[in-house]
Amino acid sequence: MHLIPNRTSFVFVARSAVSVWVCLLGLTGMAAGESNWLAFRGDGGRGEASESTPPIDFDVPSGKNVAWKTPTTGRGIGGPVVVNDLVIVTGCDGEDQRDIHIEAFDRETGTRRWLRSLRSTGRPFTHPTSANASPTPVSDGERVFALFSSCDLICLDLQGRLLWARGLAIDHPKTGNDISMSSSPAIIDGVVCVQLANQGDSFASGIDATTGKTLWSIDIPRDSNWASPQPMVLGDGTPAFAMQDSAALSILKASTGEVLHRFDMNCDSTSSATFAPPLVIIPAAETTALRIDSTGVEVAWRNNRLRPQSCSPVVHGERVYMGKGSVLVSGNLGDGEVVWQQRLPGISKVWASPLYTASGIFVFDSGGQVVVVRDNGDNAEVIGEPKIGESILATPAVVGDSLYLRTDYAVIRIAQAN
């Protein structure tokens, strides 16, 4: 078992020989490169799969361009991860959503390969819109780490063998949020980071991926917060996590939890930060781009017109995209200026973050309507309005030319029919 993921997809982005200090950021997908989607918003945490060309004219109710659709055990609103030949999701059901499930499906056929069911050891209650199975699992390519709103954290290998299971609410009985605890875990360099922000015992921990032991734990503000930590590697090679809360954006050393940088600001409590080296885009009432370099942290730009709503920013190339309900907004990554705004027909409430692909930018309404937008540079156009036809809150995965949807009660692979 390797402690450190392979880094075949590691991308070093140099802004300049002097100032570039942050190099690529989401390392969760290091193990298997483009063939996998290992975390919330995928490799790099930017919600992009720029080489992928999923079809833009699918229709799930009629089966058009649906490779397979398989019901899941229970409901889930966390995204799928795609690891080698598996699509792995979480779910929950039973009284008060106390039964929690981790389920792996064959990527080609949709056949269930294994199912592991546990019981919540912490608070299972959530708002009806949310679910105990709300965080997206994360994988290092060899193992999967599934966190639930009940603060249960389970590590399985890809054959479904249990490596360890924590009940973090057993260790911290006052940790919980009855709206839900939806922050997704992140992993880098053999450390799993969980951000369990709430009004009770509010903390973040680094957990040894191999042993399940707590490497470090820090107190964080006692406020509700659903944003997810992001893995990153600093310019000197130090693995780190970026974490946002109501008081600050902090960059923590992965191995120790030491705060390497802190920028005081009131970050958004729902939308997560996105990394575009050397910038960190932080959703807030006034979205802020921070430049992190060897000298510290400084504000690159601020813009209150680029604020996303519920979902998280997507970055591709020199563009940043923000979903704002029925509107998709594009801005310049360099200065934060808005370039275009595109109204999205049939889109009203969005929880899933948009996805950038070579086919277009996919936006998912929670009711199952999808709109695909093409960025023409100084304007945009709607090029597709495919339908899922059922509730979807989870951010999908894109691998190759397939889109993997985790609807409330199913997993669906979208691929161009032969």
Partner 1 sequence: MGDWPRNALFCRLVLAAVLISSPHAHLAAQDRTSANNASDLALIRQVDKDAAGFESATAASLRLSGQPSAAAVDVLSAMKGASALAKNWLRTIAADVADNDSFPREQLLQFFADREQDSDARHAAFQMLIASDASLKGTLLEGAVDDPSLPVRHAAIELVLSKAAKLVEQNDAPRAIEVFRVVIAQGRNPEQLQSAVSSLEKLGQKVDLAEELGMVRRWWVIGTFENTGSASFDTVYEPESTYLANGKLPSHWLQMDAEVGKANSVSKSAISKLVTSEDAMGMVNINPAFGNAKDAIAYGYVELEIPEGVEAVARLGCITANKVWVNGKLALANEVYHSGTRIDQYLGDCVLMPGKNTVLVKICQNAQTEPWAQDWQFQFRLTDRLGTAIKPASILQPGL
Residues in the site for partner 1, rule: CB under 8 A?
1-2, 73, 94-96, 98-99, 114-119, 121, 125-127, 142, 152, 154, 156-157, 159-167, 170-171, 174, 177-179, 198-200, 211-214, 224
> 193 in the Ramachandran plot: left (φ > 0), alpha (ψ -120 to 50) or beta?
beta
Measured from the CB atom, the residue of 43 and 152 that comes closer to partner 1 is 152
| Residue 156 C-beta: closest distance to partner 1, Å | 8
Q: Are 287 and 246 in contact (CB under 8 A)?
A: no
Report in angstroms how near the CB of residue 363 gets to partner 1 at its nearest. Answer: 28
CA atoms of 9 and 130, how far apart (whole Å)? 33
Query: Shortest gap between Cβ of 203 and partner 1 (angstroms)?
Result: 13
Q: Min. distance of Cβ 217 from partner 1 in angstroms?
A: 10
For strand 22-23 and strand 162-167, is the pairing parallel, antiparallel, or unpaired? Answer: unpaired
Q: Which of 122, 194, 120, 113 is nearest to 156 (CA)?
A: 113
Between 114 and 340, CB nearer to partner 1: 114
Show the tokens assigned to 346: 């049939």
Bridge partners (DSSP) of residue 206 are 193, 216
Residue 97 vs 330, nearer CB to partner 1: 97
Give the nearer residue to partner 1 in terms of CB position, either 127 or 343. Answer: 127
Shortest gap between Cβ of 163 and partner 1 (angstroms)? 6
Residues linked to residue 321 through DSSP beta bridges, in sequence order: 314, 330
Q: Which is nearer to partner 1, 127 or 349 (CB)?
A: 127
Number of H helices, E strands in the chain: 1, 34
Residue 266 CB, shortest distance to partner 1, in Å, is 16
Angle at 283 between CA 278 and CA 285, to 5 degrees: 130
Complex with partner 1: residue 157 or 335, whichever CB lies closer: 157
Q: How far is the CB of 190 from partner 1 (least distance, A)?
A: 13
Composition of the chain by helix, strand, coil, percent to 5: 5, 45, 50
Tokens representing residue 1 in the block: 């078992």
Judged by CB, which is closer to partner 1: 155, or 279?
A: 155
What's the token pair of residue 373? 């937008």
